[in-house]
Structure 1
Amino acid sequence: MRRIARLFLGVIPFLLLPAVAVADEVRLTRDALVPVGPSLWAASGIAPPEEDRSLPIVGAGNTADGARLLRHLAGRSDINGFAGILYDNRDRGHSTLAPDLFPRLARLAYGPDLVAEGLDYGLAGRILLPGVVFGNSSTAITSGPVPRSQSRLAMTSALGQALSARLYERNAIYVYPEHRDHDAEDLFPANWPYTLTSQGSSGSDRRLLIAIAMTLAAFPADTFAAMRDKGLVAPTVQMILRRNLATVSSREDYLTGQAHPTVFNPTQVRIGRMVAQAADLAADAIPPMVRLRVMEEGFRPQAGLAGLDERLFDTPSAIARIWRGFEWQREMVVSAGQTQDPNGRPLRFEWRLLRGDPARVRIEPIAPDGRTARITVAWHDPFETPAPEGGEDYDRRVSSRVDIGVFAENGVQDSAPAFVSVSFPAHQKRRYAEIAGEMRLVSVDYDARARGAYYDPVLFWSAPWADRARHDASGALAGWDRTLSDGRSLAVPPNGAAAPDSDAPPAYRIDRTDPAQPVLRHVVE
């Protein structure tokens, strides 16, 4: 049965307008969940209802760019519409798509038992839903010692990384606001295609939701079925959104950083062009999902004074590293060789620097078709990202991350990007200089707390000292002359952290007494 939605005028909130028929809700309760892993369930026995094509595909009050085009396309009856698509709001209606915007669109409703457990709220992924799903949670972690957006939460937790990558391959795409993670400074440790993050706070996600809904509805039915069956809905939507930003006018633009920001300015999204591109995409032209694998690398499982892992995550379409060691330059060999075109078309690969200093990043394709590349990155101090042409003033901000995009081109379409990201500890003040013919670390001030410099307590730490390096005649690091915050001086060995194969106790420990500002302590202090 159809549901009836009553509409209200925003300027006259108590004026009741005529009821409008909309698609049924899909109700999900605890007894419909089947455990498939730790804190992970699959929703069995539910499915989006059959699309009622007697309802309008776009509501009369929906005046978004592209609405008229979508109505016209729906009249031709060869597009998928909202068949097999489910909308999942995960903020309990705080920032939701009004039912009358898309009357045919089925919406997920959580039973009170799942609400009581919090499984309806915040970051998506713990419940795997059937069909094609898009949704949002206009929420953020605003209390406690580690405030952050839902997107940054996902990037900085092993569970969030795994769930986000899994959703991407299961035809699901979610939108979250950046909420203070992307204002004067970009605080994200990586870039990835798994989620969409909107510039702003509550409500900033709605335009992106409208764009996704209209794009999904516009695909030809056979194209949609092929994407769904091959797990390529989310990558294709990501490609179309990025290709149709106001700052992107050509293929060459698409292969630059202005098409692939960490966070999207909703005003730059051209929905009508997205709808048109989706409607024109043939089933035999669907681009692949780029899959990456690290073959060799200089980033280590134990690095820096604290001996922490430099590998933030390795997922199919995003690889992220954190620079913890003392080196001036690092190297990786990355392969996209596991990427396959869904229609068997031959692929060529583009590796493009999207963010960072071109003088300090070198990308050398190895295979003739570009499937493998050697990436060399030198240390970056914090730098200002320029606002893209046609962008807003607030598109300019400080960053401490290098992004490399990997694109597969099948002769018809470029794929969504896969990313290789390298994040630098911007809270440390480092100085490098040429010694014995090579660039080497000369000094580093670790005392971010004393300087009032922000650092992510999940990933980094502060220490109450500054070090000046001592080098031997060959230029090798011989030790550190350390000045403590109380004025005392110490001479310490090159690497206080025990070697991986050593039974010696560690020279340092991370003190998390204040979880918002962890501090590295010298054991012998």
Structure 2
Amino acid sequence: MRHNLLVASALCIAVVSAISLSASRVLADPGVLDDTNLQPVGNIALVAPDFEMPIMSDALPLVDPGDSSPEASMLRRLDNEGVAGGFEGIIYENRDGDHSRLDMGMFPRLPHLQFSDALKKKKAHLGLGGRIILPAIVVGNSSTAIVSGSAPRSQTRLAMTNPKLSAQALLTYISNHLYVYPEHRDYDAVDLYPVNWPYTLTSQGSSRSDKPFLRVLFFALAALPSDTRKTLQEKRLVAPTLQMILRRSLKGVYSRDKYMSGAAHPSAFHRDRLAPERMVSLAASLRPDEIPPIVVLEVEEESFLPKAGLAGLSERLFNTPASIGRIWRGPEYTKRMKVTAAATNDPNGRDLEFSWVLLQGDPEKVRIDPQGPGNTRAEISIDWHDTFEIGRGKKRKTNRVDIGVFAYNGAHDSAPSFISIAFPGHQIREYEMRGNYGKRLARIDYDAEARDHYYDPLLFWSAPWSDSFVYSPDGTLSSIWRLDQNGTTVLRDASHLENGAELEYQLTEKKRKRVLGLTKIEE
């Protein structure tokens, strides 16, 4: 069985086992999460198998009586008709110390998670969600960001650039948990996210920009028919289905083609694009036998290497079932991947048809060749991308290519799974034609620090020189001319001076910087 499926399956089994094997003991009050009997899920997270959901009175209104919005009117009608399943088995989790808490009066029948004093002392109620997994459907938020230290960033980017936190984000996704975080300067003039993924939702803006997303997610959850919600919870498909509902219902996304375009899948979403009444309608119409799957991706072959570039860092940021992250470090002009979605299973055994779509990037530089029955596999080739602009109206710059993979089960398209390639946009690269053999690297300027060009120090680095590459008539590398503040040095290759002396590279961590240096190894 493939690695990605094994990872997801192992996490699911660990969560289920922790819940099933829990011994009876003194329990906390309903709706209160404490630190007793928390079971580990590997080294990724903890599970609270003894957590007891509070019982909310059916006499309480489902939605604020003072809310006269179209979506509120629709939900009341669905509730009166017995279609809407309401909030049974669902709980809201705030993770910013009530800084951006959902108003309890907005959905009076919705329980709010409380943390024990012991957990609050451990700050378990703050920051990224997923540290403790509940046996419930959870939607939460943390309207916070890392604003100091060596690598300021949003909570979403923190998770994307830390292997353990990336695995934790996957765990929330397959455990019916979905969290919303603000982008806070990570998606303004420049898109700083190294990948796109469906594991979290990111709101455009900073503090409290996440609250409109909480509202529409709970409207959609409440509108789901009870049997649909129960099936979603059992199949661990609540979060993927919410992602599909939100994205398919965005303003401007009125067709299947538009859903399968970058317009429906940005790194961060603006509140003005939300259409909660459409979300309520789609959620209420979803039947158990129409639920789409999670698209499970696996790389079969690739030219992205475990060690590449002068620093010898991996080009494989992470492999997870619904998001594959790659970082371009090597000198190549073109890289290739073979990816399969064969491990994807429809929850109702329906036949699946896959769509592999370029969501972000230059269509002249990305070639996707779907193959096999139902387009189960694809061969992908990507050419080097300089920094490019995305969006309409207010544009922003990006250094990332996104490919979305969707599964259609005859009723609905799934939420996308993503293949993302992040380019080192802080480098200035020049490629030249090599006859009929494509392009090769001619020059590269590594000195982002001298140009005061931002780069993510958790992923990339700067070096105080530029390299020009000289090739022999047969196309092999002849020498490298390295220019720094002391002048030009001729290298035989990246690891040796012209006289054969060996060079060694070292990365040095500095405040908000990571700089590559080199030393000559004396014979």
Taking structure 2 as the reference length, the TM-score comes to: 0.91
Where do 1:207-222 residues align within 5 Å? 207-222=212-227
Deviation at 1:479, TM superposition (A): 3.0
Q: In structure 1, what is the equivalent of residue 461 of structure 2?
A: 461
The 4+ residue runs of structure 1 with deviation greater than 4 A are none
Pair 1:52-2:51 in alignment: no
Shift of 1:116: 1.0
CA distance 1:86–1:467, change in 2 (3 Å): same
Deviation at 1:39, TM superposition (A): 6.0
Equivalents in 1 of 2:476, 2:178: separation in Å?
A: 49
d(CA) in 1 for partners of 2:46, 2:89: 20
1:116 and 1:506 map into 2 onto residues whose CA distance is 50
Deviation string 1:399-421 (CA, Å, 9 cap, x unpaired) is 11100000000011000000000
Which residue of structure 1 aligns with residue 420 of structure 2?
421
Partner of 1:398: 397
Note if contact 1:199-1:266 (Cα within 8 Å) is conserved in structure 2: yes
Distance 1:266 1:355 in 2: 21
Residue equivalent to 1:237: 242
1:301-359 deviation per Cα after TM superposition (whole angstroms, max 9, x unaligned): 00001110000010010001000000000000000000011011100000000000000
Distance between the aligned counterparts of 1:73 and 1:473, measured in 2?
Answer: 74
1:224: how far off? 0.6
Residues 63, 208 of structure 1: alpha-carbon distance in 2 compared, 3 angstrom cutoff: farther
Aligned length: 489
Partner amino acid, structure 2, of 1:468:
S
What is the match of residue 151 of structure 2? 146
Identity over aligned pairs, percent: 48
Deviations 1:187-222 (A, max 9, x none): 000000000000000010001000110101100111
Counterpart in the other structure of 2:22: none
**Residue of structure 1 equivalent to 2:75:** 70
Per-residue CA distance 1:78-120 (angstroms, 9 max, x = gap):
3210000011000010001110000010111111111111111
Secondary structure in 2 matching 1:433: strand
Supply the RMSD in Å over aligned alpha carbons. 1.6
Instruction: Identify the match of residue 180 of structure 2 among 145, 169, 175.
Output: 175
* Pair 1:223-2:193 in alignment: no
1:160: how far off?
A: 1.0
* Alpha-carbon contact 1:25-1:106 (below 8 Å) kept: no
Q: Does 1:480 align with 2:477?
A: no
- Aligned residue for 1:359, secondary structure, equals coil
**In 2, distance between residues paired with 1:521 and 1:462?**
9
Write the letter of the residue equivalent to 1:305: L
Q: Which moved more, 1:28-37 or 1:436-445?
A: 28-37
Q: Give the partner amino acid of 1:49.
A: P
**SS state at 2:168 partner:** helix
Matched, 1:347 2:387: no
Q: Distance in 2 between matches of 1:311 and 1:50?
A: 46
**Matched letter for residue 471 of structure 1:** Y
Indicate the residue corresponding to 1:450 in structure 2.
Answer: 450
Structure 2 counterpart of 1:146, which letter? A
Where in structure 2 are the equivalents of 1:17-416 lying within 5 Å?
26-38=31-43, 40-387=45-392, 393-394=393-394, 396-416=395-415
Using the TM superposition, give the Cα deviation of residue 487 of structure 1 relative to its aligned residue in structure 2, in angstroms: 3.5
Work out whether residues 495 and 502 of structure 2, in 8 Å CA contact, stay in contact via their aligned partners in 1: no
Q: Assess if the C-alpha contact under 8 Å between 2:293 and 2:407 holds in 1.
A: yes
In the other structure, the counterpart of 2:17 is: none
C-alpha distance in 2, partners of 1:126/1:82?
23
Q: Secondary structure of the residue that 2:374 maps to in structure 1?
A: coil
Output one character per residue of 1:16-66: Cα deviation in whole Å (capped at 9) or x when no partner. xxxxxxxx9711111242333336211121132234221100012334551
Partners of 1:493 and 1:91 in 2: how far apart? 55
TM-superposed CA distance for 1:506, in Å, is 6.5
Partner of 1:390: none
CA contact (8 A) 1:139 1:149 kept: yes
Residue type at the aligned position of 2:434: I
Amino acid corresponding to residue 282 of structure 1 in structure 2 = R
Whether contact under 8 Å (2:360, 2:400) holds in the other structure is yes
Aligned equivalents of 1:65, 1:35: Cα separation in 2: 43
TM-score between the two structures when normalised by the length of structure 1: 0.91
Contact 2:44–2:164 (CA under 8 A) maintained in structure 1: no
Q: Which ranges of structure 1 fall in alignment gaps of 5 or more residues? A: 1-23, 388-392, 498-503
CA–CA separation in structure 1 for the residues paired with 2:72 and 2:506: 58
**Structure-2 change in CA distance of 1:479 and 1:112 (3 Å):** farther
Verify: 1:518 aligned to 2:514, yes or no. yes
| Equivalent position of 2:430 in the other structure | 431
Whole-angstrom distance in 2 between the partners of 1:523 and 1:253: 53
CA contact (8 A) 1:351 1:407 kept: yes
Other structure's SS at 1:163 match: helix
Distance in 2 (CA, whole Å) between partners of 1:435 and 1:188 is 33
Cα shift at 1:523: 1.6
Deviates more, 1:487-496 or 1:188-197: 487-496
User: 1: distance between equivalents of 2:328 and 2:493?
Assistant: 17
Structure 2 distance, partners of 1:246, 1:522, is 52
Does the CA contact (< 8 Å) of 1:25 and 1:109 recur in 2? no
Residues 226 and 447 from structure 1, CA distance in 2 versus in 1: closer, same or farther, beyond 3 angstroms? same
Distance 2:77 2:495 in 1: 68
Stretches of structure 2 that go unaligned for 5 or more consecutive residues are: 1-28
Q: SS of the counterpart of 2:354?
A: strand
Letter of the 1:235 partner, please give it. Answer: P
Question: Counterparts of 1:479 and 1:293 in 2: how far apart (Å)?
Answer: 38
- DSSP-derived class of the 1:449 partner: coil
Contact 1:436 1:474 in 2 (8 A): no
Q: 1:48 to 1:64 in 2, by over 3 A?
A: farther
Provide the C-alpha distance between the structure 2 equivalents of 1:80 and 1:493, rounded to a whole number of angstroms: 70
For residue 510 of structure 1, give the secondary structure of its aligned residue in structure 2.
strand
Distance 2:30 2:215 in 1: 18
The letter of the residue matching 1:511 is T
